[in-house]
Amino acid sequence: MGSVYTMNGRTTKQILATTAFLLLITGMLGLYLVQMDSGEQSLAVQDLSFSEGTGTSGLLNSTLSIAPVEFGTMDAFSWTGCAGSISGLFALGLGTVATERRERSSGKLRDRVVAEIADQPGIHLRELKRTVDCAMGALQYHLRNLEDERVVESHKSGNTKHFFLSEFSSDSEVLHLASVLRNPTARVILCEILDVGRITQAELSRSLELDKSLVSYYVSSLLEDGILNSIRVFGREKPLVLADWARMELPSLLSLIQ
């Protein structure tokens, strides 16, 4: 009976030793591949050794040279050595997985930013942050890189920065009009003028049920930007019309920008 227990104990130890050995090789190979992907040319393994306990004669050190292991006995490995090796490999595996997850997460965020800008041309920074649901610092990092790579371009309207894919348009007037259309009030005013052709500020205020001061504020800005023109009429309030270029571009932009 004693010999059976001895046999079982030795078998268990042999299995543990084999598992530790395989984990070690797998971990080292994984670390080497990760470092190769990062542009590193060599793998240095320093101060990796089994803790030496009673009956321990196996030693693993320096440049991945492995002492011969006699699997018929457990003279090459001690319980202390096995525990230390497994814990070290576990930490190494966790570090590799964490690095790969960070890289995948960063790539996914970048892709989401590009997709959101493609779906919503002219989206501004804070709206983009809310949509992709990420930290402002991470978003600004990706936007800077995307602009440097000419994947994305930005257009500033007042104090607000709007983002477009680079192929959206090379015309600064079109980018500005698209940015203006992101504002709901400016959008309804422009849509109303597009529908009726010409209209006064008083008529805009009544038809859209907007305060006259609010209409005046937006109309002044649109006149200054060259999106609207006013018609001189003697003794009456000047009607408003779309500039020729804006009247041509507005229908297609309205279909793209919701």
Length reported for the chain: 258
Question: What's the pLDDT at 237?
Answer: 83
CA dihedral (150, 258, 248, 213) positive or negative: negative
| Spans of all domains in the chain | 2-105, 121-165, 172-256
Fold of 172-256: Arc Repressor Mutant, subunit A (1.10.10)
What are the backbone dihedrals phi and psi of residue 138, each rounded to the nearest 5 degrees, phi first?
Answer: -65, -40
Distances (CA, A) of 30 to 85, 215, 229: 16, 64, 66
Contact 230, 222 (CB under 8 A): no
DSSP β-bridge partners for residue 123: 163
Three-state secondary structure call for residue 152: strand
DSSP β-bridge partners for residue 160: 157
**3-state DSSP of 46-64:** CCCCCCCCCCCCCCEECCC
Q: Which residue has the tokens 């609010």?
A: 214
Asked, colleague to colleague, whether 121-165 and 172-256 share their fold, the answer is yes
The whole-angstrom separation of Cα 247 and Cα 250 is 5
Among residues 118, 116, 137, 141, which one has the least CA distance to residue 127?
A: 116
Three-state secondary structure call for residue 131: helix
In CATH, the architecture of 121-165 is Orthogonal Bundle (1.10)
- For every one of its 258 residues, what pLDDT tens digit does the chain have, with 9 covering 90 and above? 544 444 456 666 677 777 777 777 766 666 555 555 544 343 333 343 333 444 444 433 433 343 444 444 444 444 445 555 555 555 555 555 455 555 555 579 999 999 999 999 999 999 999 999 999 999 999 999 999 999 999 999 888 999 999 999 999 999 999 999 999 999 999 999 999 999 999 999 999 999 999 999 999 999 999 999 999 887 778 999 999 999 999 999 999 987
The whole-angstrom separation of Cα 61 and Cα 49 is 5
Amino acid at 186: A
Q: Is the pTM of this model over 0.85?
A: no
